């Protein structure tokens, strides 16, 4: 079964850091681009970051550029999102999503169940 499973969310103070993980199974992880998408409470979807299948190409939304870093370990079939200098408006459910192409730039055909990040003092 094709599956994405996020972990690493939790409560963190403003200015703090967190690392999210997304474990992939059921497909050839190293063949596809991957993204993180977030959804603030009661709000819509916001794309956060993307990484190519090889890990050499990355993109970031302006709202997180310079604070978040996306990476992947194809030997472990795992995607990561390193989040620094967290702010209250980073509070959201964070989803990892599989792209339909090896680069980035396709649509997201598989999504994880999400992990909740709450930034609050």
Partner 1 sequence: DIQMTQSPSTLSASVGDRVTITCRASQSISSWLAWYQQKPGKAPKLLIYKASNLESGVPSRFSGSGSGTEFTLTISSLQPDDFATYYCQQYSIYWTFGQGTKVEIK
Can you tell me the distance from the alpha carbon of 78 to that of 5, in angstroms, rounded to the nearest whole number?
Answer: 9
Q: Would you say how long the chain is, in residues?
A: 121
Kindly indicate which of the ranges 17-25, 66-74, 76-84, 99-107 contains the residues binding partner 1, using the contact rule CB under 8 A. 99-107
Distance from C-alpha of 19 to C-alpha of 117, rounded to nearest angstrom: 10
Rank residues 27 and 111 by Cβ distance to partner 1 and give the closer one. Answer: 111
Contact predicate 40/56, CB 8 Å: no
Q: Among residues 27, 46, 55, 67, which is the contact residue for partner 1, using CB under 8 A? A: 46
Told to check if 73 binds partner 1 by CB under 8 A, we report no
Tell me if 111 contacts partner 1 by CB under 8 A.
Answer: yes
Does residue 45 interact with partner 1 by CB under 8 A?
Answer: yes
Task: Report whether 117 contacts 83 (CB < 8 A).
Answer: yes
The answer to whether the beta carbons of residues 18 and 7 sit under 8 Å apart is no
Q: Which residues bind partner 1 (CB under 8 A)?
A: 35, 37, 44-47, 50, 59, 61-62, 95, 100, 105-109, 111-114
């Amino acid at each position: 079964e094709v599956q994405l499973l996020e972990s690493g969310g939790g409560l963190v103070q403003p200015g703090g850091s967190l690392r999210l993980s997304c474990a992939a199974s059921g497909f050839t992880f190293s063949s596809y681009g991957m993204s993180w998408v977030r959804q603030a409470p009661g709000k819509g979807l916001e794309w956060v970051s993307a990484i190519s299948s090889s890990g050499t190409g990355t993109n970031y939304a302006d709202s997180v550029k310079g604070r978040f870093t996306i990476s992947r370990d194809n030997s472990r079939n795992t995607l990561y999102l390193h989040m620094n200098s967290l702010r209250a408006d980073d509070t959201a459910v964070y989803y990892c999503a599989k792209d339909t192409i090896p680069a980035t730039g396709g649509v997201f055909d598989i999504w994880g169940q999400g992990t909740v990040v709450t930034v609050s003092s």
